[in-house]
């Protein structure tokens, strides 16, 4: 096990809808799968509402929205979606405006940076590296890294443990992220420009990434 280094704060981010708008690429991959089985497409807005609970739930909701889960179950359609999306998980994904400057500021001030996401780890890493976010982000826990998903706090702690010791702050855009922080007993900072799949009650929130560095002591 690597020796842990003390940092000012450990800042852990959600990925989809927080650092990156990835819905266009996800929806395109889902719609290719749906077209192959004779289904109508879903809109990017519809797909954004499915985000937050992991790829399995996203595809289940796509199938329900377009006629229901077929009799042979979810598994083959999830596998096909993963095959399509894994071929190019960067396609259609962009950083939210101001993300790069904000995380560079935090890194320069001595904060450890990590990502905790439901997206499979290999795809998340490829996306972060392609968009120039890793580094300065150095820690990553994705779907499949552990045998649990958010809001289980084990995912958040696993990501944070990769970037040293010190207080943890979690930054996200959804009720799932808020519940993850609550379960872990750590402060939650809510990004209002993401996909929000429910009512978020967090008092500390920001709509512009330029605001984030001032919110973390």
21 is a catalytic site residue: no
Residue among 97, 135, 109, 132 at smallest CA distance from 213? 109
Placement of tokens 């708008």 in the chain: 21
> Nearest to residue 145, comparing CAs of 166, 119, 113, 167?
119
What are 118's two structure tokens? 């439901």
Query: Residue 85 and residue 129: Cα distance in Å, rounded?
Result: 17
C-alpha angle 107/192/94, rounded to 5°? 60
Among the listed residues 14, 16, 21, 173, the single catalytic one is 14
Residues 6+ apart with CB under 8 A from 75: none
d(C-alpha 138, C-alpha 115), whole Å: 8
- Asked if residues 155 and 178 have their Cβ atoms less than 8 Å apart, the reply is no
DSSP H or E segment with residue 146 = none
* Termini Cα distance of the chain: 29
Q: 146: cis peptide before it, omega within 30°?
A: no
**Residues designated as active site:** 14
């Amino acid at each position: 096990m690597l020796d842990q280094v003390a940092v000012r704060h450990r800042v852990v981010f959600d990925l989809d809808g927080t650092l990156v708008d990835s819905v266009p690429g996800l929806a395109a991959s889902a719609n290719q799968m749906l077209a192959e089985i004779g289904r109508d497409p879903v809109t990017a807005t519809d797909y954004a509402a499915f985000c937050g609970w992991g790829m399995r739930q996203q595809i289940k909701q796509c199938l329900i929205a377009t006629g229901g889960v077929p009799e042979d179950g979810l598994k083959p359609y999830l596998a096909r979606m993963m095959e399509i999306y894994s071929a190019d998980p960067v396609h259609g994904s962009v950083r939210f405006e101001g993300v790069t400057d904000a995380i560079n500021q935090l890194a320069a001030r001595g904060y450890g940076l990590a990502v905790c996401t439901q997206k499979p780890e290999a795809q998340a890493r490829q996306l972060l590296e392609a968009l120039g976010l890793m580094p300065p982000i150095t820690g990553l826990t994705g779907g499949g890294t552990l045998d649990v998903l958010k809001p289980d706090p084990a995912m958040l702690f696993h990501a944070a443990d990769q970037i040293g010791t010190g207080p943890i702050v979690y930054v996200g855009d959804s009720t799932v992220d808020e519940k993850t922080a609550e379960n872990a007993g750590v402060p939650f900072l809510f990004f209002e420009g993401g996909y929000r799949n429910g009512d978020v009650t967090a008092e500390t929130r920001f709509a512009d990434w330029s605001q984030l560095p001032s919110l973390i002591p």
